[in-house]
Amino acid sequence: MTEIPEHLLRRAKEARERLEGGAEGAAGGAPPPETPPPETPPGDEEKIPAHLLDRARSAADQASVAPAAPGGPVAPAAPSAPTGPGGHTQRLLTVVKSGSIQDVKAMPQDRVHVWPHLLLGEFVASLFITAFLLIFSVFVNAPLLELANVNETPNPSKAPWYFLGLQELLTMFHPMVAGVTIPGIALFLLILAPYIDRNKENAPEKRKFAVSLMTVHLMFWAVLVMIGSFFRGPGFNFIFPWNDGLFFDF
């Protein structure tokens, strides 16, 4: 509920007292004492428009004098409430300055659209990598090996570097465990990671669980790949490359 200013309450009280005094004077035959028009408290003239103040003063002056009766003296009439357009009784409570109903504020967001912010950067990066590979292939040759001989098996026989981790696991576990169980468990844990870690922070120092999980996964696989590449010799036996040489083709 809006609180009514004190000067408006005082003005309404004075108007009621004038109306009551005019009614008593008309009933007793004595003219009511003249009351000056209500004074505007200091500071209100700046808040209330001038045309509304003039209308209130003129209404108060007209109410203090009643029309003359035929053959009789002029008797002051009881003051009436000021009327507005169409004869409607109006009372001015306050003047509200026009302005926006809603306070609209721009809230910062940490999200952007996929297009063009993400896709444009990815497209530029793909063009850069394509151009780099094209220029690199012009100056650096990548010869193929000779045709495979079905009568001769290379020793050691190594898989491509990205499969050497699995080949290294085959030397330690049963093929079912090394080729299915361990990789399946690792992939399943990586799938569950976003549902376990609900942290929405973007800073790496605040994502300790996600960073630790990915670091352990990469280091485990990198160690297996390096062992299979540089520390396995003929018969896929463990060797030291600085003693027996390097059995790996780049």
pLDDT given at position 176:
93
Domain edges within the chain: 6-87, 155-244
Nearest residue to 240 via CA among 231, 250, 229: 231
Q: Which CATH number fits domain 155-244: 1.10.155, 3.40.50, 1.10.287, 3.30.420?
A: 1.10.287
Mind listing the pLDDT tens digit for each residue in 106-147?
A: 666 677 788 888 899 999 999 999 999 999 989 888 777 788
pLDDT the model gives residue 45: 47
Structure-token match 């800073």, residue found: 203
